[in-house]
Amino acid sequence: MKAGGLVVLLGLCHGVSSVIHSLKYFFTGSSGVSNFPEFVYVGMVDELQFIHYDSNSQKLEVKQSWMDRFTRDNPQYLEGQTGLSLGAQQTFKVDIETLKRRFNQTGGVHMVQKMSGCEWDDEDDTTDGYEQYGYDGEDFIVLDLKNLRWIAPTPQAFITKLKWDQMRADLEHQKNYYNKECVDWLKKYLDYGKSTLQRTERPEVSLLQRRPSSPVVCHATGFYPDRVVVFWRRDGEELYEHVDHGEVLPNPDGTFQVSVDLDLAAVPREDWRRYECVVQVKGIEDILTPLDPALVRTNWGKTGPGRDGGRNTCLTTST
C-alpha cells in the first residue's frame, strides 16, 4: 500500500468532503554509515514529525509543543516509548547481520528500514494500515493486511514469509492494532494537536509562465491540510486535455503546495479569458483565478500583481 499518495483529485466528482489523517512510524537501522546513528526512529502524524529517537542519544524526544501536554497527561509515555525504541534498536542490529548473510555480504554500507502506520478518513470513518520492510533501498517484505499474509518481493525474504505466515496469532494482533489501536492513537494525537493538525489554511494562488511558449501554471501554496482539488476549466467546463497535474509538495512552514499546468500553445491570447483555475479546499469557498494576462507572473516580460506573494513560487521550477 502506498501511504500518502497524490491528493490532486481528477475526474468529475470534485469537492473536498473529507480529510484522510495518517499516523506513520519510520525505523532505520544501518551499518557502516559514518556520522549517522546506527538506529533512528521517527513518528509522524499527518506528515508532521512529533517524536524522534536515535541510538546516539538513546532518548525519545517530542518535536511538537502539543506533545508536552500529552506527555504530562500520560506520564508513562516517554519511558514506555524509550523502552520500545531500545528494543527495536537491538532487533534491527540483529536483522542487518541476518540479511547480510542471506545476501552473501560482508562489509560495506547496509540499511534496514521499516515503515508502518494507519490512516483514518474523518468523513466515513474508514481505516487502513500498512507495514513493510526494505533492505538497501529495495522492498524486502510487505504485510498484506486484508488477507493476513506476507508478500516477499525477493527470494531472500521467502524464509521470513514462511515463518511469519505461520504466526497466526501475531497476524491477528497486527490486524487489530492497525485497524483499531493505531487509529485510536492517531485520534488522540489529533485531539491534542488540534490547533495545528486540524486547522485550515487558505492557499495563495498564482499564475506563472516561464517563457511565452511555456504552459501557464496554476500554483497554489500555503494550504493546509494537504487534501486539495486544483483544475482548469474553459467556459465553465473542466479541461482534461493539455493539462498536467503535479504532486502535492510540502513547504518548509508545514503547509503544502501544488501546481497544475495548462498548455495554451494553440490558443490565441484573446481567448485566454475563457479559462480559469479552480482551487478547492475543505471549509473554504472555491478560489477562482481567471486566466488574465495581467495576472500571469513571468520572468521574461511584464509581471502582474502579486509579484512577491506566495511560498516557494520560484519561476525557474515551473515547466
* 160, pLDDT greater than 90: yes
The CA radius of gyration of the chain, in Å to the nearest whole number, is 23
Number of other CB atoms surrounding residue 132 within 10 Å: 18
Residues 224 and 254: beta-carbon distance below 8 Å: yes
Residue 215 is given by DSSP the state P
Residues 38 and 29: beta-carbon distance below 8 Å: yes
The identity of residue 61, as a single letter, is E
C-alpha grid cell, residue 125:
470513518
Residues 183 and 120: beta-carbon distance below 8 Å: yes
CATH of domain 204-317: 2.60.40.10
Looking only at the bridges linking them, the beta strands covering 296-298 and 204-209 are parallel
* 7, pLDDT greater than 50: no
Q: What is the pLDDT of residue 5?
A: 36
For the chain, give every domain's residue range. 20-197, 204-317
Same fold, 20-197 and 204-317: no
pLDDT class of 230 with cuts at 50, 70, 90 = very high
Residues 272 and 292: beta-carbon distance below 8 Å: yes
What are phi and psi for residue 4, nearest 5 degrees?
A: 85, -105
* 300, pLDDT greater than 80: no
Q: Does domain 20-197 have CATH number 3.40.50.720?
A: no
Unique residue bearing C-alpha cell 560495506:
108
H or E segment to which residue 276 belongs: strand 275-281
Instruction: Give the residue-averaged pLDDT of 139-162.
Output: 97
